[in-house]
Amino acid sequence: MPSRILVAYASREGSTSGIAGAIADEFRKAGYGTDVKEIESVHSLEEYDALVIGTPVYSGKFLGDIAGFAARHRDRIAHIPVAGFVVGIAPVYPKAGDVHVFTGKLASAVAPAKAVAITMFAGSFQSEQQGFLVRSLGKMMKIPEGDFRDWGAISAWARELPAKMGI
Ligand SMILES: Cc1cc2nc3c(=O)[nH]c(=O)nc-3n(C[C@H](O)[C@H](O)[C@H](O)COP(=O)(O)O)c2cc1C
């Protein structure tokens, strides 16, 4: 039986959900049975042999409760390979935070799992989707607008995961 992989994510505006879908597409192309689910809708990891977990950053904090997820599933998460990704604009706009701090926080949050790979992808920031306050703040902070998701980099990262996970 080929291994089954779960890609679990949190997303408010949909850009992280798109990245989770692109990662899952690579796994499926490689022949792995793959599910994509929002973190909060995952009740059990029993049927999965590997986990990829992703969350965007909002105001310096993870949107998804990764530590809570890891605690709920600690028995299983300690025994299957885990990889994680953070999404935000920091990779294209360093004033939004330090990429290494975010990836370090994600690595700690998935404990007791020891992630085989953790990265941060650039997301998307569209100010017309935001309320007045965030729009104004975005302008004031000169946050670049656009969809910065690098589909080539996302697919390349996903393609390397099964070997790193030993599945
Ligand atoms: C109000 C607000 C705050 C944000 N704060 C940060 C931040 O502190 N650091 C960062 O790198 N990106 C930040 N972002 C960018 C989001 O992480 C980015 O838009 C991401 O793609 C959103 O993911 P989602 O579409 O899955 O919700 C912020 C975006 C908004 C709208």
Cα gap 128→126, rounded to integer Å? 6
* Alpha-helical runs (H) found in the chain: 15-29, 66-72, 74-77, 99-109, 132-140, 151-165
Residue 43 is classified by DSSP as -
Predicted pLDDT of residue 138: 82
- Looking at the DSSP bridge assignments, the partners of residue 84 are 53, 118
Q: Is 34 in the pocket of ligand 1 (CB under 6 A)?
A: no
Query: What is the pTM for the complete model shown?
Result: 0.96
Distance 88 CA to ligand 1 centre (A): 5
Q: Is 60 in the pocket of ligand 1 (CB under 6 A)?
A: yes
CATH code of the domain containing 143: 3.40.50.360
- Give residue 76's domain range: 4-165
Q: At what angle do helices 15-29 and 151-165 cross, to 10 degrees?
A: 50
Render the burial of 99-129: b for 16+ CB within 10 Å, e for the rest: beebbebbbebbbebebbbbbbbbbbbeeee
Where the chain has pLDDT below 50, the residues are none
Distance 125 CA to ligand 1 centre (A): 7
The 10s digit of each residue's pLDDT in 18-61 is 999 999 999 999 999 999 999 999 999 999 999 999 999 999 99
Q: Is 70 in the pocket of ligand 1 (CB under 6 A)?
A: no
Q: How many domains does the chain have?
A: 1
Q: Copy the structure tokens of residue 140.
A: 């004031």
Q: Is 124 in the pocket of ligand 1 (CB under 6 A)?
A: yes
Predicted pLDDT of residue 137: 81
Strand, helix or coil at 82? Answer: strand
CA-nearest residue, atom 9 of ligand 1: 96
